[in-house]
Structure 1
Amino acid sequence: MRLHDRVFLLLGGTGGIGKSLVEPLVLAGAKVIVASRHPEKLAHRQGVALVPLDLAAADLDQQLLRLSEAYPDIDGVIHCAGQNRFAGLAAMSVSELDAQIAVNLRSAMLVARHFAPRFERAGYGALVFVGSTFGSIGFPGYTAYCATKFGLRGFTEALRRELADTPVQVVYVAPRATATDMNPEAVNELNRALGNSVDTPDSVASQILAAMKNDDRRRFLGWPEKLFVVINGVLPRIVDKAMLKQLPVIRRFLKPGVTS
């Protein structure tokens, strides 16, 4: 995938992995349109446009229409926005469940629904989705997050096959644990207690760009996480047993709460 002279709509570009994508995209010669509920969080710089967009909004489809009318040259979308909460399912409020479904899965579907036909008519275009290792391995304390990321992985796979005879590229990249502000200190402590490797947003961003340049259809990041993905798909009972051994440690960091 060529990056030079491309116009990418970047969703989730004001923090974490998304923010780390902005600079290398610009340096590669792309124009970046960062869409966020809080675009003011990103400093203005040449080659970057900041626009408001609420991925959880009921009228997201209409917001996307207005955005693409304002920026008709968009020929690529990178969706790396996401929400999560580390908690037992019983501690999750209905609004928290709805927010994760809306941002992590529904918004990706609406973005693809809006842009894929436009890219197909134009004769080129790319849809890049950032998922998670937890889109392939269910993990205690992340039931809702895993559900949305499993959904995202399945959606991108089906979409890629649906568009296989078109010029539209569909790329799925699944990072492992990443050090972003989305993780509370309890999650950082849990990762240390379990000995989990944690990547920096910059290193993940570089892997996403590498997947794009290499025209990868999907890329899973981290070792041994990539191995666990394969094992979980073939012999899930092995992972079940490993998780059961970790469960007492995981439970120490899960916070009780009330549903609403």
Structure 2
Amino acid sequence: MKLRDRTFLLLGASGGIGQALVKPLQAAGARVITASRQPENLSHQSGVATAHLDLAAEDLDQQLIRLSESYPDIDGVIHCAGQNRFAALEDMTVSQIDAQLDVNLRSAMILARHFVPRFRQAGTGALVFIGSTFGSIGFPGYTGYCASKFGVRGFSEALRRELADTPVQVVYVAPRATQTAMNPTEVEELNRALGNKMDAPEQVANHILAAMQKDERRRFLGWPEKAFVVINGLFPKIVDKAMLKQLPVIHRFLKGGV
């Protein structure tokens, strides 16, 4: 995928992976437009345009029309925004479930619905979706997040195959645990207790750019996480047993323990 002279709409640039993507994209010669529900809270960066976009809004489709009118040269979208909540299912409110589904999955589908015909008509375009290892492996305490990220993985795969005879590229990148502000203290402590490795946002950003530049259809990050994705798909009982052993520790952190 050619990055130079391309204009990317980057979602989720207020922190974490999205924020770490801005400078590498610019260094590769791309123009960057960041969008947020509160664009005034986005850190000012030279050469980066900011726009308003509420991914959980009912009128997201109408907001996208206005955005495209303001920035008609957008020819790439990187969906890096996400909602995450570590909680038992019965402890989540309906609004917390809705937020994860709306921001993580629904917005990705509406964005693609908006941009695909424009990219097809232009003869070029790229849609990059940032998923998660938890989009392939169900993990206790992340039922809502896993549901949304499983959806993103399935959606991006189906869309890529639907557009296989068009010039529109669809890329899916699945990071493992990443050190971002989205993780509360108990999640950081849980990862340490379970021995889960966490990547810096800059590492993940480099992998995303590499996947884009190499025209990869999908990329899973981390070892042994990549192996567990395969094992979980072929022999889920093995992963069931492994997580059953971890469940007492997970329950302790779900209840606020350290």
TM-score normalised per structure 1: 0.97
Deviation by residue 1:105-152 (Cα, 9 ceiling, x = unmatched):
000000000001100000000000000000000000000100000000
Percentage of pairs with the same residue? 75
Contact 1:76 1:125 in 2 (8 A): yes
* Alignment partners' CA distance in 1, 2:232 and 2:155: 19
Secondary structure of 1:34's aligned partner: strand
Answer with 153-162 or 19-28: which moved more: 19-28
1:43, distance to aligned residue in structure 2 (A): 2.9
Q: Which residue number in structure 1 is paired with residue 137 of structure 2?
A: 137
Q: Which amino acid aligns with 1:229?
A: V
Q: Which residue number in structure 2 is paired with residue 118 of structure 1?
A: 118
Q: Which residue number in structure 2 is paired with residue 209 of structure 1?
A: 209
Contact 1:128 1:171 in 2 (8 A): yes
Deviation by residue 1:172-195 (Cα, 9 ceiling, x = unmatched):
000000000000000000000000
Q: Which amino acid aligns with 2:140?
A: P
Q: How does 1:66-215 map to 2 (within 5 A)?
A: 66-215=66-215
Structure 1, gaps ≥5 residues long: none
Q: Which amino acid aligns with 2:135?
A: G
Q: Which residue number in structure 2 is paired with residue 231 of structure 1?
A: 231
Q: Which amino acid aligns with 1:236?
A: P
1:46, distance to aligned residue in structure 2 (A): 2.9
1:40, distance to aligned residue in structure 2 (A): 2.4
Secondary structure of 1:35's aligned partner: strand
Q: How does 1:34-53 map to 2 (within 5 A)?
A: 34-53=34-53
* Alignment partners' CA distance in 2, 1:172 and 1:43: 26
Secondary structure of 2:171's aligned partner: strand
* Alignment partners' CA distance in 2, 1:75 and 1:174: 22
* Alignment partners' CA distance in 2, 1:183 and 1:14: 15
* Alignment partners' CA distance in 2, 1:29 and 1:157: 28
Secondary structure of 1:247's aligned partner: helix
Secondary structure of 1:110's aligned partner: helix
1:66, distance to aligned residue in structure 2 (A): 0.4
Q: Which amino acid aligns with 1:129?
A: F
Q: Which residue number in structure 2 is paired with residue 29 of structure 1?
A: 29
Once superposed, what is the RMSD of the aligned Cα atoms?
0.8
User: Number of residue pairs matched?
Assistant: 256
Contact 1:78 1:127 in 2 (8 A): yes
Secondary structure of 1:65's aligned partner: helix
1:159, distance to aligned residue in structure 2 (A): 0.2
* Alignment partners' CA distance in 1, 2:2 and 2:44: 24
TM-score normalised per structure 2: 0.98
Contact 1:87 1:142 in 2 (8 A): yes
* Alignment partners' CA distance in 2, 1:65 and 1:26: 25
Contact 1:7 1:76 in 2 (8 A): yes
Q: Which residue number in structure 2 is paired with residue 243 of structure 1?
A: 243
1:28, distance to aligned residue in structure 2 (A): 1.2
* Alignment partners' CA distance in 2, 1:4 and 1:132: 27
* Alignment partners' CA distance in 1, 2:255 and 2:78: 33
Show structure 1 runs of 4+ deviating over 4 A.
none
* Alignment partners' CA distance in 2, 1:102 and 1:88: 19
1:38, distance to aligned residue in structure 2 (A): 2.2
Contact 1:14 1:38 in 2 (8 A): no
Secondary structure of 2:241's aligned partner: helix
Q: Which residue number in structure 2 is paired with residue 65 of structure 1?
A: 65
Secondary structure of 2:126's aligned partner: strand
Contact 2:14 2:43 in 1 (8 A): no
